[in-house]
Each structure stands twice: as structure tokens, then as C-alpha cells.
Amino acid sequence: MSFQHIQTELNDGIATIILNREPLNVLNIAMMKEINLALDSLKEEKVKLLLFKAKGKAFSAGVDVGEHLGDQVEEMIEVFHGIFRRMDALPAVSVASVQGAALGGGCELALYCDLVLASEKAKFGQPEIQVGVFPPIAALIFPRITSRKKALELILSGEIISAQEALSLGLVNKVVPNETLEEEFEKFCGKFLPMSGLVLALTKKAFQAGLMDNQDQGLKAIEKIYLQDLMQTQDAEEGLKAFLDKRKPVWKEK
């Protein structure tokens, strides 16, 4: 499948979506529809990792401001939020590589990923408030990935922060030199490749269940995933037996 605004790759269970609308990778409706099509194409694939990368000097400067106006706004929101609904529907662990500005919708796309690696030149921010709107996805996820008060401050002020500050707030996992970003990204993702893809997916599912406001309900959901999903898999049995046998596990679900 070829696209105008993105590039895609699928190799050995690693799916990559590359934003390719240089120089700033502004997300217009056409581009976001392509991202949705790319995500839809992964439904029947066995994907261990879903990677988001970008060409050019910015990860993404956000959603096209012109498409927030008039009759386009409803379609824009539907298509943009469709990206996150599709990401949620995929069991794969998602990882973003951010080399420059990730602003507005671009910041939301990067930080919605489960894990984020950032260049020291990266910057993050939700400047929507400065043009009279607010960021719906940031309003959803920021209180879940940093402190409530800091999340509200970032959204209300539209402040743009450095990669290092994003790291200190827990918004990103690691900051690396710009010139070694690609190498460090491969190394970072490589930590997860030896694991069972199925067990990674079920662990992510349990982690998300644990975010429920009601801790008892969250624990019950995690217990159900552990006993009814995880412990019924061949990989769970194989991993435990391999440990007892003092050998490396041979996963069925790579």
C-alpha cells in the first residue's frame, strides 16, 4: 500500500509509520486518513511493536489549523481521534521517535504512544489555548502520564518545553543526542524484541486495566487477564518451564 504523506514498513512483527510531509509534518485530514488506513491494515497482522517516526526537522507541528474551521472541524476531529482509537485497538506496544518539534496534535500523537524516545533537540507543547481552542487528547492523557497540576498548567498555558523537561515530567522515556537518535531508537526497541509478542500485548492490556480509578476493579481486571488470558497461553507455560530448566525460552508467539 503506497501513500502520499506517510511511509510504512512491516518487518518481522515490527510495523513502522513514518510521517513524510516535510518540513513540519503538519497533519491534515488527508494525511490522517492515510495513518488510519495504515493502522487498519495491521489488524490481521501479528505486530509486536508499532513505531512512529518522522522525516524532516520536526516530528509534527500539529494538525492543520485551517481544518479546525467551519464544516471541516467535525471531520477533522473524527479522523484525528480515529488514530488513537485504532492505536488502542491494536495490542502492539507503540514507540515514538521524536527528533524535533512535537506540537499540538503532533505532541498528542507522540505522547499517546506507550514509550517515547526523544532527541535532545526535541520540544513538546500544546499551544492550542493560544488560538482559542484546547487539545482533547492531551486533556485525556496528560493527567495520566504526569502530575495533574503540571498537566493542567501545560494545557492552560500552551507552554513549549524541552526534551529534558519532558523527561523530568515523565512524558518521555529517554533523551539522546540528536546525531545518534536512530541508533539509540533501534537499541531501545531492541530490548523488547526477545520477548513473546503475545505476553507483551497481554502485559500492556493489564497495565491499561490498572489505570482504572477504582483500584479494586482494576486489580480484578488484571487478575482476569492473568488467569484467563495469559496463563492459558503456550508462551507463559514455556517461559516458566524454561526458567526451571535453566534454558532460553522458545516462544510460539514471536
Residues with a known catalytic role: 108, 128
Q: Rounded to whole angstroms, how far apart are CA atoms 177 and 184?
A: 9
Contacts of 35 (CB under 8 A, 6+ apart): 6, 17, 83
Three-class SS state of 231: helix
Query: Nearest 5 degrees, angle CA 22-CA 115-CA 17?
Result: 35
> Could you tell me how many helices (H) and strands (E) the chain has, helices first?
10, 9
**Long-range contacts formed by 76-81: CB under 8 A, 24+ apart:** 76/29, 76/32, 77/136, 79/29, 79/32, 79/33, 79/36, 80/27, 80/32, 80/105, 80/137, 81/136, 81/137
Element (H, E) at 217: helix 215-224
Radius of gyration (C-alpha) of the chain in whole angstroms: 19
Give the distance from CA 72 to its chain's centroid.
Answer: 26
